[in-house]
Chain A
Amino acid sequence: MSVLELANISKHFGAIQAVNDVSFSLEAGEVVGLMGDNGAGKSTLVKMIAGNFRPSHGTMHLEGKEIVMHKPAEARQHGIEIVHQDLALCNNLTAAANVYLGRELRRGVGPFRILDYAAMYKRAGQLFAELKSETRPRDLVKQMSGGQRQAVAIARTMLSQAKIVLMDEPTAAISVRQVAEVLNLIRHLRDQGIAVVLISHRMPDVFDVADRVIVMRRGRKVADKKIASSSPEEVTGLITGAIEQVA
């Protein structure tokens, strides 16, 4: 059974049809590259999965059950996590504080509860170790490299038992070595049985790490292929419209 199944999803803003009749499914432990030019509808599609927008038409099924989400917090409860393009980190806080931002651990009784620093440092450290990232929970994010910052943002998605992680352009604007680190982080998520949707403009990254590629153009899905049976040239053609559509 697929983790997530989208059926005939459409979204229009007034007269603008941002996403038009898109269907696809995600399997556990699968990395899917979502590609397309600017304005192709990738972000809108991902925002619907993350609970930011509600689809105008169509249905979503999570592990066979239909879900309707009104806000991002509900998507989180369903086990859908997102890594934002700008990572959404606070430079003035420690790595652990960022990982737990918005869901801090506390100890104590009733209304007298204080932040549980020790537990948050410990768990954040475990998550960084799982990600094989040299990131210290007590360090300020301000002093961190791009790869470490990515690790902090990704560790956030591992706090709860995430089923799906959506990643919005995680490799834009970071160095070559850091791109390799991020791709490794994605493989770690996959190895834990998490389905990853990777939105990217970078062809090499998608072909390096993804199992499948979905190409969108003008709000429609124009391709959904195994990476093994596609090529960067074909995907480029699909993105630009030089190739109309493939089965």
Chain B
Amino acid sequence: MAVTLDQTIAQKQHTFLSRLLANQTFWVVIAVVLACLFLSFATDSFATSKNLFNITRNVTFVAIVALGMTFVIITGGIDLSVGSVLCLCSMVLAVTMHAGYSIEIGILATIVTALAIGAFNGVLIAYVGFPPFVVTLGMLSVARSLAMVASNNTVVFQFGPDHQKLLALGGGAWLFGIANPVLYMIILALITGFILRWTKFGRHIFAIGGNEHAATLTGVPVKQIKVAVYMISALSAGLAGIIQTGWLGAVTTNLGTGMELQVIAATVIGGANLAGGVGTALGAIVGAALIEVIRNSLGLLGINAFWQGTFIGGAIILAVLFDRIRNFRRSD
């Protein structure tokens, strides 16, 4: 045997290709691409610029929140409050601007609201030891109710002096005809990907999800980081709320109802593990994209909309099934 210890240590066990093939996100990308190709041939209306514009824009709200959720899920937590927080944040923005304040003040108030809610969730989870499920389930109810209180359960569609600015922010398309929300999503995804891969904070998030006790013993500031991830999650819901308000041009108190489940589905389909320790920014985006393509295609193919839930639920189970099959093979 001429192989020295140094050679063994220097050896890379995985090639680029083998890592790619073992990656759930990669397979979901393939699924999205195949679905799109199929739909382009099977229907006349899929590959039109109007439909693609709609799809990309619809993906963004779930995708942006899914980016924030990815942080939480990597630490092994869950945030069920995002749909309600999105609604409350939209409402804070709408009510503030409706009262005559400028768009800057409205956005500031929204972001402060989001961060405060995230900090509240995070402190109860990290310092008081509540299970994340319980705290954020409570917040799901509280935030929606506060949105009703703030607006007296009415629809707000007049945003004061900066009305047009807000609509341009969410509804415009200032770069190559790409809808603004899509641009925001891409920017936020790049930031998320950078944080997860290249910062100490990102590394520590993965460590907490992998083995929280070990992270504590090795001096990782576990509690502070946990508070931070719930603040990021709420912030992403707040940002999505701002953009969605600008796009819709009106806010109702049932905005974002049930969105938490779509968001969690998107992250899981994209390869995040609810047990913690695994997840990517790209995964959150393609997970959201797959859900939207499925929804869109059912409509175009003339399949009854009642079937939507079945197909999306099937996609969730199928995505995780592939992961299980790989693990079975590994343990053989």
Contacts and interface: CB of A to CB of B under 8 A. Distances in A.
Interface stretch (B77-85, B105-113, B204-212, B299-307): B204-212
Interface residues of A, number: 31
Interface of A: 72-73, 76, 84, 86-93, 97, 101-104, 106, 114-115, 125, 128-129, 132, 134-139, 156
B218 A102 contact: yes
Contacts of A101: 203, 207, 214-215, 218, 220
B9 A129 contact: yes
Contacts of A91: 210-211, 277
Given A88-B217, A134-B5, 15 more contacts: A76-B219, A86-B213, A92-B210, A92-B277, A101-B215, A102-B220, A115-B197, A125-B10, A128-B9, A129-B6, A136-B12, A138-B12, A138-B13, A138-B14, A139-B13
A101 B211 CA distance: 11
Contacts of B214: 86-90, 101
B13 A103 contact: no
B9 A114 contact: no
B199 interface: yes
21 contacts: A72-B217, A86-B213, A88-B211, A88-B217, A90-B215, A91-B211, A92-B206, A92-B278, A93-B206, A93-B210, A102-B220, A125-B9, A129-B6, A132-B5, A135-B9, A136-B10, A138-B12, A138-B13, A138-B14, A139-B13, A156-B218
Contacts of B277: 90-92
Nearest to A132: B5
Interface residues of B, number: 28
Interface of B: 5-6, 8-14, 197-200, 203, 206-207, 209-211, 213-215, 217-220, 277-278
Contacts of A93: 203, 206-207, 210
Most chain B CB within a 10 A radius of its CB, from A102, A132, A135, A136: A102
A128 to B, nearest CB: 5
